[in-house]
Amino acid sequence: MTRWWVVVPVKEAARGKSRLAGVLPDDDRTALVRAMALDTLAAVRGARSVAGVVLVCSDEALARVAADDTATAPLVVVDDPAAGLDAAVLAGAHEARRRAPGCPLAVVLGDLPLLTPEGVEEVLDRAAPHERAHVPDAAGTGTTVLTALTSLRPSFGSGSSARHAAAGHVPLTLPAGSGARHDVDVPDDLAWTRAHRPAPRTRRALTPSA
């Protein structure tokens, strides 16, 4: 079995998911960002082929809760260099390779509340034959997962799937309903997530208080 190190970059919760500001109060949006990140981390750390996880963030509250989790795969937290998502990915990859030289790498964005350990395994199994690969999001234009047996070539942002493919990260074909494809960026994503039973922390964050 290939043993992967996984980088999970997460923006500071208070600044995350700004496109949801019109449908969620600031406090609820902050709570949702942290909940989705923790659910994503739980799925990644629960996958059998994950040897270790690097969380890249500057959110102390998130890092503290994540560090207290007793999931199987060990967790390392490094500071977000605050130079954009690609820089955060590369900082995490550097730390992973420092700890496990030559390890295969995966980047899993921290807003995949429908991801499961089995879903992580499916992605990594499909990625293993390729030097570089990626998972396009549900719309087919963005990227939710990036993998490399050698060096990563991150180019996240709008239209990233096409850029990653051009850089040699082969697109992986996954079922339309795969949790690995459904990130949460805009209100329509939020509605879809509500309707498809997300992981526990996200579900609680989306449940109105009595």
* Average pLDDT of the chain to the nearest whole number: 92
Confidence label for 23 from pLDDT (cuts 50, 70 and 90)? confident
Residue 206's CB: how many other CB atoms inside 10 A?
Answer: 18
| 132-136/143-148 β-pairing | antiparallel
**Is the model more confident about 79 or about 1?**
79
Confidence label for 208 from pLDDT (cuts 50, 70 and 90)? low
- Could you read off the pLDDT of 31-49 as tens digits, one per residue? 999 999 999 999 999 999 9
Of 101, 87, 88, residue with least CA distance to 52? 101
CATH of domain 4-205: 3.90.550.10
DSSP string, 12-75: -GGGS-GGGTTTS-HHHHHHHHHHHHHHHHHHHHT-TTEEEEEEE---HHHHHHHHH---SS-E
Angle at 198 between CA 195 and CA 199, to 5 degrees: 165
Confidence label for 137 from pLDDT (cuts 50, 70 and 90)? very high
Residue 13 has pLDDT above 90, yes or no: no
Looking at residues 136-152, what average pLDDT do you find?
96
Beta bridge partners of 4: 50
Please give the pLDDT value at position 210: 38
Residue 159's CB: how many other CB atoms inside 10 A?
Answer: 12
**Is the model more confident about 91 or about 176?**
91
Tell me what percent of the residues of the chain surpass a pLDDT of 90.
77
Looking at residues 56-69, what average pLDDT do you find?
91
